[in-house]
Amino acid sequence: MLKSKSIGTYIVVYLCQMKPSSCDTFVALPPSTEGQRIIFGKNSDRPCDEVQEVVYFPAKDYSPGEKVECTYIEIEQTAHTYAVVLSRPAWLWGAEMGANEHQVCIGNEAVWGRESADHEEALLGMDIVRLGLERADTAEKAVDVIVELLEKYGQGGNCMEDECTFTYHNSFLICDRTEAWVVETSGKYWAAERVENGYRNISNQYSITTKIDKEHPRMRQYAQEQGWWDGKVEFSFAEVYSFLTKGRIEASGSRYCEGRRLLEKSKGHITAETMMDILRDKESGINMEGMFMTTGSMVSVIPKDHLFPGVHFFTATPDPERSVFKPFIFVADIKQLKHTCSPCFGEDDPVKKKPRFQSKPNRKHSLFIKHEVVAAIIDSTREKGQRIVQKMRELEKQKVAEMEQYLTRGVEDSTLLVHLFSNTVEEEISTYNKA
């Protein structure tokens, strides 16, 4: 079934009139967390009519010369891809956020700066997220993969499922069992910052200042050539490449500052539940509402000790306040997550045909359909809505407690976890049906 383009067109006009918006991504490392764990979290803020799915792809080997078709362009495939779990807008190849079997997590943000975002079709930032996860077994290697892709293929193309063009550059927050990295880009130019302890968040503005641990070899020279930097004062990526200085970002009361404040508030005691609470925070704007809203959320718990598994929680539904964070653990023999996998339209997909985006197919997966009905009940019926939310929280709390057993004792029987995420989705749907 196809639906009208008018909603998407209205959203694009709305976005063009508002201040730049994007998502929020967080990471907390010891000693900011409880125990020797790294906690990663991200809200994906996207057009309100967009469906976000959670999908799994196993590791795979490829022959020399094989290609991979990303959202808009085809690129060279690597010899081996790692198993990944992704939360992604259902119309594209890449992902807003995800993790791989080596416990590398990546989330991306839209950023706007002095350089114009390219309308020419290349790799989307979301494609780069997936490619980084498929090709890197550490956070630092993911940095290298990302910048190599930028140099070879560039970033660009429409970031919305609509014929009206909406483009941006990207920043990335990456972590593994030992550290985190922030990569911020402007076209093919980039800077990267290593984070080894404490906490870090990124939002819709550049945030790397003078602490730069890796960079494009011509980044500073290019800035001088453009007249953005005189080569004398200390170089700050955010001040040189952004419309706004770092100081103005911090004084603006933006989501970036609010996110940092919420992390600081729980410093030393940050857990998965803490991160979920931050992602649910509406007063700060981190949990977005309106035409541009939080359409999917992710929280990961990654023990520093390799004896214990990482646990990755996804909502696969809009508004984390009215959603359940459901756990996923990488084990052998996981099958596709059918309840959160959207319909596939193959070569008939309007995204694949040129001109693109002439229509929109119905991309709702089965959990989304059930959740859509329940969300309407929560909004319209106070007492019943409160009961539903309470039952959802009880289910989530139960799953967090169950996961704690694996995080502290390890996995003895991996067969019990093959259907962990899908079984939790079924429990969530059962909760809806009982309500």
Residues taking part in catalysis: 23
- Quote the CA–CA distance of 401 and 80 in Å, as a whole number: 35
Say which residues have a Cβ less than 8 Å from residue 106's Cβ, sequence separation at least 6.
97, 98, 99, 129, 132, 133, 142, 172, 173, 174
The answer to whether the CB of 304 falls within 8 A of the CB of 292 is: no
- Quote the CA–CA distance of 184 and 205 in Å, as a whole number: 9
Q: Which of 49, 43, 58 is nearest to 360 (CA)?
A: 49
- Helices 366-380, 382-409: axis angle to 10 degrees equals 130
Phi, psi angles (nearest 5°) of residue 183: -120, 125
DSSP classification of residue 155: B
The answer to whether the CB of 327 falls within 8 A of the CB of 421 is: yes
The answer to whether the CB of 389 falls within 8 A of the CB of 292 is: no
**Half-sphere CA count of 177, side-chain side, radius 13 A:** 15
Q: Strand (E) positions, 158-208?
A: 169-175, 180-186, 189-195, 199-202
